[in-house]
Amino acid sequence: MDFGFNDEQQAIKEAARDFIAARFPPARVRELAESDSPYDDAIWAEMCELGWPGIAISEEYGGQGLGAVELVILLEELGHALAPAPLISSAYAGLLIADAGSGDQRSRWLPGIASGQARGAAELTDDPFPVAGAAGGAAVLVLASGDGARIVESAEAELERVDLIDSTRAYFRVSANGGDPLPGDVELPVAKGAVALSAELVGIAQRALEMAVDYAKEREQFGRPIGAYQAVSHRCAQMLYETEEARSLTYYAAWCADADPSSLPLAAAMAKARASDAATSVTNAALQVLGGIGFTWEHDLHFLLKRAQVSARLLGSARQHRDRVASLSGLE
pLDDT of residue 146: 67
3-state secondary structure at position 16:
helix
Same structural domain for residues 22 and 68? yes
3-state secondary structure at position 145:
strand
- If you ran DSSP here, which 8-state letter would residue 95 be given? H
The DSSP bridge pattern shows strands 120-122 and 140-145 to be parallel
306: in domain: yes
- Which of 181, 211, 245 is the C-terminal boundary of a domain? 181
Q: Could you tell me the pTM of the whole model?
A: 0.94
2: in domain: no
Residue range 124-129: average pLDDT? 68
Same structural domain for residues 225 and 297? yes
Distances (CA, A) of 216 to 51, 227, 228, 233, 279: 39, 4, 8, 8, 19
Residue 299 has pLDDT above 80, yes or no: yes
pLDDT of residue 215: 93
Percent of the chain scoring above 90 in pLDDT: 73
| Per-residue model confidence as pLDDT tens digits over 52-62 | 999 999 999 99
| Per-residue model confidence as pLDDT tens digits over 1-52 | 466 899 999 999 999 999 999 999 999 999 999 998 889 999 999 999 999 9
Looking up residue 208, the CATH number of its domain turns out to be 1.20.140.10
The count of structural domains within the chain is: 2
173: in domain: yes
| Per-residue model confidence as pLDDT tens digits over 226-261 | 888 889 999 999 999 999 999 999 999 999 999 999
| Per-residue model confidence as pLDDT tens digits over 158-176 | 888 888 899 999 888 888 8
Same structural domain for residues 267 and 161? no
Distances (CA, A) of 218 to 15, 241, 297: 29, 22, 21
pLDDT of residue 2: 63
Identify the domain containing residue 36 by its residue range: 7-181
Backbone region of residue 83 per phi and psi (left: phi > 0; alpha: psi in -120 to 50; beta: other values): beta
Number of other CB atoms surrounding residue 139 within 10 Å: 18
| Per-residue model confidence as pLDDT tens digits over 76-119 | 999 999 999 999 999 999 999 999 999 999 999 999 999 998 88
